[in-house]
Amino acid sequence: MSTAVQDINRDAAGSAEAQRAEIERVFAKQQAYALRLRTSTAAERVAKIKRLKEMVLDRAEDIYKACYEDFRKPEAEVDMTEILPIVMEANDAIRHTKKWMKDKRVRPTMAMLGTQARLHYEPRGVCLIISPWNYPINLTLMPLVSAIAAGNTAILKPSEMTPHCARLMEDMMGELFDEQEVATFQGAVETSQSLLAQPFDHIFFTGSPAVGKIVMGAASKHLTSVTLELGGKSPVVVDKSANLKKAVGSLVWGKFANNGQTCIAPDLTYVHEDIKDAFVEEVKASLERMYGSIDGIENNPDYCRIVNNKHYGRIKHLLDDARERGANVVAGGLHDDAQDFLAPTLLTDVDREAEIMQEEIFGPLMPILTYSDVDDAIADINSRPKPLALYVYGKDDRVIERVINNTSSGGVGINTAMMHYLHGNLPFGGVNNSGIGNAHGEFGFKTFSHERAVLRDRFSSSFLMQPPYTPFTRKLIQWTMKYFV
């Protein structure tokens, strides 16, 4: 090994060691400050959320620029999928944090007559928020709103895949907060490992199931609670009773917004065989209405790019593998390696063993499968890990309820795609392979809080059952057993 290479390796090791020390320093500082935040008032927390909201709106132009530089995301999509969700989450917390913080009275059971019980919401403490690259601003700052509302400190670890957005958030958080309350660390795997080595009180991770398992494993060493927002192959069932134009318009937007790089994007589309041809034609027409000719979509400013060449190569491989196994490309397929560009692509006759049928696509490929009996679609859905979302399009409520009642998913959309994410009064989260725990609104507040049971004895008779166990005491216990059994 040359001296120059040795120097580079030594510098890299030194830099990693310096960051580990800095993480430990900031973590210790937040541990101390978290104790002060246990008694913070609703007004104090709301004031911080208001400042965060105002900064997001004030820095909108910077957010547009960062998202464009990272993956050419159009401003309209930035507004709708990055800025608006944060503002809505902040508004909800501003209006309701005081109510959420209030102790909840709990009625006594028969055995607890003479006592008073309540639930007290206390902050978890020092929280780690690890966010992904597909919606880098939204998926970092929305959970931060919940963490602040619940009275925690937070360390943010944005994705290195979107460096412009990560740098912008570091700058914004540094301007808004002291590091003892909110701090940001940038980096790749080594940074994440150094952070996960700390005994956080809670970890909120958004990303893939594979990395989620690593995070959960690291958290187990400290018995740290986790919220995992993961993903999976979110299925779509299109019944022959569906309003095809409306259904396809919703589905196409949900599938190809952000170039398909969405954890709840439709992944596998099951279409009743009677409407397959009409469905394919309507998808083509809908794409043309939204983006113009598919052949010219490369120049459309409303269609963003795959985040980097690595992910582009992965998605391109899924397409090539499906083709080699006999899949038909009925629309799209155009690509440009230099731009990480891949047009919206519709695939039919896809081999069930193709790689695109096994892993989450996370890109602009739409495999279209057919069924004659909805039970066949349900069986295929149930043969796979539980997804983050499931969508059903149709007017026949019997079919819709059959799909919902016989499958499992984090959330469900009926005649809509992805919009349940924006409903602040619904929990957002997965199940098993697609995640653990919930986010948004009061559910997010509870995620970052510990529900503490508080019981006060006023005039209960429980002391009568304490030792010594005299004949009278034993009879009282026996009478109590008979009463409750």
Over residues 300-336, the pLDDT tens digits come to: 999 999 999 999 999 999 999 999 999 999 999 999 9
Active-site residue identified among 89, 229, 360, 442: 229
Greatest Cα pair distance in the chain: 91
pLDDT of residue 379: 98
The full DSSP string for 378-410 is HHHHHTSPPPSEEEEE-S-HHHHHHHHHT---S
Residue 157 contacts residue 191 (beta carbons within 8 Å): yes
Is 90 exceeded by the pLDDT of residue 480?
no
Angle at 470 between CA 465 and CA 475, to 5 degrees: 65
Pairwise CA distance, residues 159 & 173, whole Å: 15
Residue 430 contacts residue 410 (beta carbons within 8 Å): yes
Active site residue 263: yes
At 60, the pLDDT band (50, 70, 90 cuts) reads: very high
Contacts of 440 (CB under 8 A, 6+ apart): 89, 142, 146, 423, 424, 426, 427, 428
Is 70 exceeded by the pLDDT of residue 5?
no
If one counts every other C-beta atom within 10 angstroms of the C-beta of residue 223, the result is 7
At 484, the pLDDT band (50, 70, 90 cuts) reads: confident
Please compute the mean of the pLDDT values over residues 466-481 and round it to a whole number.
Answer: 89
Please compute the mean of the pLDDT values over residues 378-392 and round it to a whole number.
Answer: 97
Active-site residue identified among 263, 282, 360, 442: 263
* Of 135 and 460, the one with more pLDDT: 135
Over residues 251-263, the pLDDT tens digits come to: 999 999 999 999 9
Over residues 436-458, the pLDDT tens digits come to: 999 999 999 999 999 999 999 99
**CATH for the stretch 9-230+438-451:** 3.40.605.10
**CATH for the stretch 235-429:** 3.40.309.10
Please compute the mean of the pLDDT values over residues 71-92 and round it to a whole number.
Answer: 96
The secondary structure element, H or E, covering residue 311 is helix 309-324
Q: Strand 126-130 and strand 341-342: pairing?
A: unpaired
Q: Where in the chain is the domain with CATH 3.40.605.10?
A: 9-230+438-451
Please compute the mean of the pLDDT values over residues 85-89 and round it to a whole number.
Answer: 98
Integer CA distances (angstroms), 81 to 6, 77, 88, in order: 45, 6, 11
Active site residue 229: yes
% of the chain surpassing 70 pLDDT:
97
Is 90 exceeded by the pLDDT of residue 3?
no
Please compute the mean of the pLDDT values over residues 113-136 and round it to a whole number.
Answer: 96
Residue-averaged pLDDT of the chain: 94
Q: Where in the chain is the domain with CATH 3.40.309.10?
A: 235-429
Structure tokens at 54: 């105002």
Is 50 exceeded by the pLDDT of residue 2?
no
Is 90 exceeded by the pLDDT of residue 365?
yes
At 111, the pLDDT band (50, 70, 90 cuts) reads: confident
Among 355, 353, 135, CA closest to 264: 135
